[in-house]
Structure 1
Amino acid sequence: MTLLTEVQRRPLDPGYAEAARRRALTRAPHRGGRTAVWLVVVGVLLGLGVTTATLSLRQPQAGAVAARRLLEQQVRRHRADAESLAVQNADLSAQIAALQNQALRSDDPALLAQLQRWAVSAALVPVSGPGLRVVLTDAPSDGSTKDNPDLRVQDVDLQLLINGLWAAGAEAIAVNGQRLTATTAIRTAGSAVLVDLVPLVNPYTVEAIGSAADLQTSLARSSAGQHLATLRATYGIGVTMTSQRRLQLPGAGPTALQQASTPSMTASASPTTSPSPTTSPPPTPSPTPNPRTASTPTATPSRAVRAAGGEVVTQSSVVAPGTGGEDR
């Protein structure tokens, strides 16, 4: 009972009561209005200093801005020079073709016809004819998926499509007006798709000359058709195929070879002395191929576009202007 009575009379321990009394005696005096104003001023000045430092760090330096403007000017100037040289190259190529046709038309018409057929196969001249048009468009994206590369048409998509068209029997192919040859490469540089060195922009229009029904049927049965179906169903990339009664494909111009060269005409024309029948060795029989080791070479998919080099391009679908064929 004594303990309960003491707790009721003095609920606070004497030590705690003494500490509270000392804290009350040593409490700092209340700050006045002038102190509060100074605190506000110091806070504003600190905020302005931090904001100014942040802006100065984010703002590009004057040297970087000048270098960027100089690079932009150089890009525009070189682009204009390249376009001018391309026009001059086209004019000179047309003049060379006209002079060549004029010289061979009277001297060797057969050689002229053969050169024209080879020019069509090598994609050197414009061609026209019926065919198939395939348009690939990037998938619609919102702000969260804007930088997703899977929603954009990539170089591998165009490569598979074009390889499938070649395998389906296409006789001439162009992408966004760029004619494909045996040395054409489709690749990615950053976020841009390049045909050789020409950047392409969305949408990507692939035009192939040939029988539209056969091309579409063969493409749907191939791995390229399955890939296009996956792009459409999984990633939302637009794939549109339409048959065209007439397509106009430009020429790619002459191909500049760096290492390849034609055999010397003097070496092939030099006479050879046939060996005497008494001294000639007997012919060596060719080895019989072993059916267990012999194999048929298979076509290996390549990241570069396979053109129709070595194929015979018929004049039924592809017509080159100036060859005497009828445009369809």
Structure 2
Amino acid sequence: MDWQSEIEDARRRIAGHARVTPVARLEPGGFDVAVKLEQMQHTGSFKVRGAFNTLLSVDVPSAGVVAASGGNHGAAVAFAARRLGHPAHIFVPDVAGAAKIGLIERAGATCHVIPGLYADALEAAQAHEAATGAMQIHAYDSVPTVAGQGTCFAEWEEQGLDADTVLIAVGGGGLVAGALAWFGGRRRIVAVEPEQSRALNAALTAGAPVDVEVSGVAANALGARRIGDICFDLAREADSVTVPDAAITEAQAMLWREARQWVEPAGACALAALVSGAYTPEPGERVAVLICGANPAPDPVDALRTG
């Protein structure tokens, strides 16, 4: 697979559809890190990149598109589908929460809430695909999705990324796969997962993708039960660490207190590796953190309306 070409093609394809998100240097907790504020992307996460690249790569059937999601992917697919004029059905587990379900509905999709976790929503989405002929847009394990997410890192380098190591949160693996595909070993990639949602870490330990139990504060965004095959194939070049929920919530609070960046737990997961000591940079090592999502529960706007 020529990932560089796939990602460059994706960049041209989604230009004008996805935002160019800002970069900055922050010092949360005394850590001097380069950050990319991808939580400022449309619908509050990087997922729009993969959604637009997928929809613009194929002829979408009249039945439209279908996706399973913990929330952010569904919102991204809904947003992209509406922009491009396609009907969308999104299946989410009930743990997605009211904020993300509301985000999907406001983006214009029909949202189906399924009891259980992401895997249960995926099963329902696959049944809808089989019954209607709608096109399935996988949240993380497809070439167009991974290439779309890889545009984030191509863009970051163009913005002057100066780092030896990039820390990236992992759920199903589309984002970190995009980073590994783009950088191709030119930078150290550290895959960061919650201790209670560790699909990639478990796969690397086992030598193959395996099912894991999923829970914790970031489960509605990072709660994939099994890592994607594409990610697993690429991730042999990555370091893998896990972080406790307490470190994630502390990193989340730290980003707000010290940088006025309000993110969901998944968005703070990569920074939590520094906060917890799960990853300790060497002296002089230049570190970057991808902040990936800004859809906490409750939604701050909804809280203002009802408070």
- Tell me: higher relative CO, structure 1 or 2? Use CA pairs within 8 A at least 6 residues apart: 1
- Which has the larger Rg? 1
Greater helix share, structure number:
2
Question: If the TM-score is normalised by the length of the shorter chain, which range does it land in?
Answer: under 0.3
TM-score, with structure 2 as normaliser: 0.21
